[in-house]
Amino acid sequence: MTDDPRLTTGLGSIQSVGLNAFEANQIEIQANVGHGLPSFVVNGKVDASLREAKDRVRAAITNSELKFPDLKVTVSLAPADLPKAGSSFDLGMALAILAATEQVMTTRTTRTVFLGELGLDGGLRTVRGVLPALKHARDQGFTHAVVPMPNVAEAALVADLEIGGARCLKEVVRWLAGDHVLDTVTEGDAIPPPTEHHDMSDVVGQAEARHALEIAAAGAHHVLMTGPPGIGKTMLARRLPGILPPLGSEESLEVTAIHSIAGTLRAGHPLVSEAPFIAPHHTTSTTALLGGGTGLARPGAVSRAHRGVLFLDECAEMGPKVLDALRQPLEEGEVRVSRRDGVATYPARFQLIMAANPCPCAPAHDIDCICSAVARRRYLGKLSGPLMDRVDIRVRMDPPGNTALMSDAEESSAAVRDRVTAARNAALDRWGAHGWLTNAEVPGSALRQRFRLEPSALRPIELFLRDGRVTARGADRAIRLAWTLGDLKGLAQPGETEVAEALLYRDRGGH
């Protein structure tokens, strides 16, 4: 090492990982320090957030008792053609400059990736997307990763990668010199805390709605609940994650990765192991729903609800554009977010639960409604069309009668979850080979042809079709639902009873 880095020219190289939405790429950060007018240039398809990195890197180096070279400094992020955004390259850029000027040792850097945003004081700040970035690094053969201290618990979720947590640039420099040990966490620290307790046993009465929610959980069906304000639509929807099977380990990591990029992980307990519940307000924007924004595109509500529940309360109050935007992710299970550099894709396979008042004036009892017949029709009419074609269950909630309020304690979520899990396993055994995981995913054509029910089971549908009481699409929905009713009863195939029952769910909810 030399005492005066201003005189040192050279090349330094540090490895990092960049994210383009859900896609991770290994990024090599090269710093070249050469003779010429003092300057600092960053190359390699970087966005505005990265150009600000120059100020942070320069200040962090000088405020860490290190020297920023008074020479021509060029930092390149390779491969050049990949778009790069976010602040997680700060640490790598600083280290590359320090390596070029021989202020740090580079013997430990070849198998190590570095992620972290720098403060002007040289402190390291938490960054988004650590989990998906480090999973990629591990798959690329890296053995070590250095991350900001607050990201350590999340980083530790990646198996077979040694994690070091640092509070500031100086700690990393001392670690590279071999005279500092970086902090790690053991697996025991990452055990998730018990999840919030929203139990089905808290819901008094509403037997029909509770049963509808159980069916929805078993078949992964989308639901529309209508009923007056305060009837318990939100309370019930919040209890859906508690009766869904817990996420498998792969799903869990996938969901955690999305929430890592969104910046919504719980500090210290980052692993998301239960189905998420995401409830955007009815005034939410299309961007907030679908994702986007400058820098590293944030996953929207549809992606944060991936493998879980998207709850839209007062959905009749949402703009038609916002509701229409849901169609593409509902159909494809992923969402495309438009970017300056093209299109980014995030997973978005969620169960949609919508709730609406029956009319604009929304009285506690229907009899007090002051809306005109036209206003009432128009209100829920907004929800018709292609979006509603995907909603298999409509349920109408009414104020509970006195007997319902006096009834015994209701069943717990754990008991319901056992039945739901058994039904889901039955569906998976049947459809798994065809690539469908749940009854809700089975296309109508398969239900009508390949997996056609016995003629006796189809009799109620034929009657309804003949009388014009159900449309062809409505018939598909009823058959799909009948399969779930059969699965909940442990039947090999739904019969006439299940099909007739399913037809009852066809039109409820007021339209």
Task: Write phi, then psi, for 64 (nearest 5 degrees).
Answer: -110, 25
Kindly tell me which of 177 and 369 has the beta carbon lying closer to Zn ion. Answer: 369
Q: How far is the CB of 510 from Zn ion (least distance, A)?
A: 11
Question: Which CB atom, from 41 or from 361, has the smaller least distance to Zn ion?
Answer: 361
Q: Which is nearer to Zn ion, 152 or 359 (CB)?
A: 359
Name the residue nearer to Zn ion (CB basis): 370 or 472.
370
Q: Count CB atoms within 10 A of the CB of residue 459.
A: 14
Cα 189 to Cα 208: distance, rounded to the nearest angstrom: 42
Least distance in Å: CB of 361 to Zn ion?
3
Could you tell me the smallest distance in angstroms from the CB atom of residue 377 to Zn ion?
11
Name the minimum Å distance from CB 364 to Zn ion: 11
Q: How far apart are CA 121 and CA 87, in angstroms?
A: 15
Angle at CA of residue 310, ends 313 and 336, nearest 5°: 120
Residue type (1 letter), 503: L
CA 305 to chain centre: 5
The dihedral through the CA atoms of 366, 367, 370, 376 has a sign that is: positive
Smallest distance, Å, CB 358 to Zn ion?
7
Q: What are the tokens at 400?
A: 């509970």
Question: Helix/strand/coil (H, E, C) string of 439-497?
Answer: HHHCCHHHHHCCCCCCHHHHHHHHHHHHCCCCCHHHHHHHHHHHHHHHHHHCCCCCCHH
DSSP state of 123: B
Q: For residue 305, which of 319, 315, 291, 316 has the smallest C-alpha distance?
A: 291
Closer Cβ to Zn ion, 82 or 371, answer by number: 371
Q: How far is the CB of 378 from Zn ion (least distance, A)?
A: 12
Using alpha carbons, select from 24, 44, 20 the residue that is nearest to residue 32: 44
The minimum distance between CB 57 and Zn ion, in angstroms, equals 60
**DSSP string for 6-17:** GG--EEEEEEEE
| Closest approach of Zn ion to the CB of residue 460, in Å | 33
- Nearest to 407, CA basis, from 161, 207, 145: 207
User: Which C-beta is closer to Zn ion: that of 276 or that of 358?
Assistant: 358
User: Which residue, 183 or 368, has its beta carbon nearer to Zn ion?
Assistant: 368
Closer Cβ to Zn ion, 26 or 357, answer by number: 357
Residues engaged in binding Zn ion (CB under 5 A): 359, 361, 369, 371
Angle between helices 169-176 and 90-100 (to 10 degrees): 50
Strand order in the sheet with 277-278: 277-278, 309-312, 351-356, 222-226, 391-396
Residue whose CB is less far from Zn ion, 125 or 378: 378
**Residue 369: CB minimum distance to Zn ion, A:** 3
